Amino acid sequence: MSLDEKNWFTEIAEEAGTAFSLRVNECLHRERSDYQDIAVYQTTKFGRLLVIDGYVMLSDRDNFLYHEMLVHPALFTHAAPRRVAIVGGGDCGSLTEVLRHDDVVSAVQIEIDERVTRVAERWFPGLCTGAADPRAELLFDDGIEWMKRAPSGSLDVIIVDSTDPIGPAAGLFNAAFYTECRRVLATGGILVQQSESPLLHLDLIHDMRAAMAEAGYGALATLTFPQPVYPSGWWSATMARTGANLNGFRETAAERRKFKTRYYSAAVHHASLALPPFMQEALD
């Protein structure tokens, strides 16, 4: 990460040989928490920008793509998503999307770094509206340890809204964690996790799916969507469950949803599951 003399914020992806830049007006906030460096910039075209350890987390302009596609496909695929847990997701964007579903009776967010949430509350208040919902619970804890303590069969949907598989998030991308999630999920439960770029991180997606299969999930589905501020501009989420396949969803409910979305729709849900041949071949 760098900020040059002309006020361009640049995130360099060394492993991909690429870089992504946004012009900024100023740094609004910067601090070192117990876990990571957290910064907020005001950009010229993408609104405010949240950066952790030099990596872009979200922008005002395009975060809806990620939050809608991480949440709504999984919740509309589940028959009755009443009890939801979000591991990570400290900016509260996924929590807010979850609580737009009337079916949900409880949603707990387990974020290891409280400072991410407090920074989001100040600089991204629109993402945090769900935190005030009486169905919401914010916990500041290690998601891996929390999952070990959670009662068996107590959740319908688990959403892993983590950073890249480095640092505090590294333990969220392996069979041991997926096995705990499977234990905590009730019959028909769904696990969904952000799974990086299909163009740059296909090996990671393959390994995630292999670890999920090893943990006992018989049905897997990776969906893709655009995400301009992330490396390659193309991102993915992977769903898993032990029972029926993940291709069907409550299409009528999705079409007649009572809340507005900017990207997600029943048609987009179908389209996101249609993988291009190079992905299908690599993931089969």
User: What CA–CA distance (Å, rounded) separates 50 from 113?
Assistant: 14
| CA 229 to mean position of chain CA atoms | 14
Active site residue 102: no
Candidates 34, 53, 161, 203; catalytic one:
161
Supply φ then ψ for residue 230, to 5 degrees. -100, 155
Residues 6+ apart with CB under 8 A from 246: 77, 190, 219, 220, 221, 239, 240, 273
* β-pair type (48-52, 55-59): antiparallel
Spell 182-207 as b/e; 16+ CB within 10 A means b: bbbbeeebbbbbbbbbbbbbbebbbb
Give the closest residue to 78 by CA, choosing from 221, 216, 209, 174: 221
**Annotated catalytic sites, by residue?**
161
